[in-house]
Each structure stands twice: as C-alpha cells, then as structure tokens.
Amino acid sequence: MILDAKRGDIGSTAEQYAKEAFERYGADAVTLSPFMGFDSITPYLKYEGKGAFLLCRTSNPGGDDLQAQHLADLPGQPAMFEHVAKLAQSPWHTNGQLGLVVRATRPTRLSACAP
C-alpha cells in the first residue's frame, strides 16, 4: 500500500511522520515532498523494506510554479523536476528505496525524469 501523504518536514517531526506511515498505518511506501532536502527524507529510508516516492513532476497546474523553473538563469540548466530526478537516482538513492511521482498527462515529457 502506498500512503499518498506528500510529507516533507525536518528532524523529529519527519521521524514521527515516518513512524506514523510505516508503523501506525502499515504502508509499504509513502509519497514525500523533497523540497526541504535530504534530511527530510532520511527518516523514511531507515525503514528497511519500505519505499518512498518523491514528488518530481506533478499534474496539477500549479506544479509549474516551482517544478518547471530552471535552477539558474543560464541556457542548459535543468528544471527543478529534472534536478529532483537526478537526486533520486544518486546521491539520495542510497539503498534502492526511492522512486518518483511523475505525471502521466504528458507522456512525451516522461523521458526527462527517466534515468
């Protein structure tokens, strides 16, 4: 079961959210917002055999507000969602537990999030 929680917090709060997702609700995986950094993801990765899906490229119209923005004002710089996808491949992908939430409403753009 995937708990579509879209959590993203730091420190002891993230630890409690992870405990709630995996121990209380018995989820096999959870959706997370990566925008607070790797330390907000690590409490979930401590649960062996459990997974986490990072919000990368969502289908809601407001997702473009951040996800489609480029990281620098230079040609060739990746959009935020491309950067999140790269982080999820490595260095954040330390133990095979990370996946991505990627919209399927524009199939031609899915390849931008693929390894």
Residue 19 falls in the annotated catalytic set: no
Catalytic residue selected from 6, 19, 50, 86: 6
Read off the tokens for 68. Answer: 């489609």
Among 56, 40, 58, 37, residue whose Cα is nearest residue 99: 56
Cβ-based burial of 96 (10 A; exposed 0-12, middle 13-18, buried ≥19) = exposed
- Give 53-100 pLDDT, tens digit per residue: 999 999 898 998 999 988 876 567 889 998 899 899 988 988 889 999
Determine the average pLDDT of the residues in 6-35.
Answer: 96
- Higher-confidence position of 35 and 108: 35
Tell me the one-letter amino acid at 15. Answer: E
DSSP E strands, the chain: 2-7, 29-32, 51-57, 98-102
- pLDDT-based confidence at residue 113 (cuts at 50, 70, 90): low
What average pLDDT score do residues 41-47 get? 96
Query: Which pairing describes strands 29-32 and 2-7: parallel, antiparallel, or unpaired?
Result: parallel
pLDDT above 80: residue 49:
yes
* Residue 49 near residue 22 (C-beta atoms within 8 A): no
Round the average pLDDT of the chain to a whole number and report it.
88
Burial class (CB in 10 A: 0-12, 13-18, 19+), 30: buried
Where do the domains of the chain lie? 2-113
Q: Tell me which CATH code domain 2-113 carries.
A: 3.20.20.70
18 burial type by CB count under 10 A (0-12 exposed, 13-18 middle, 19+ buried): buried
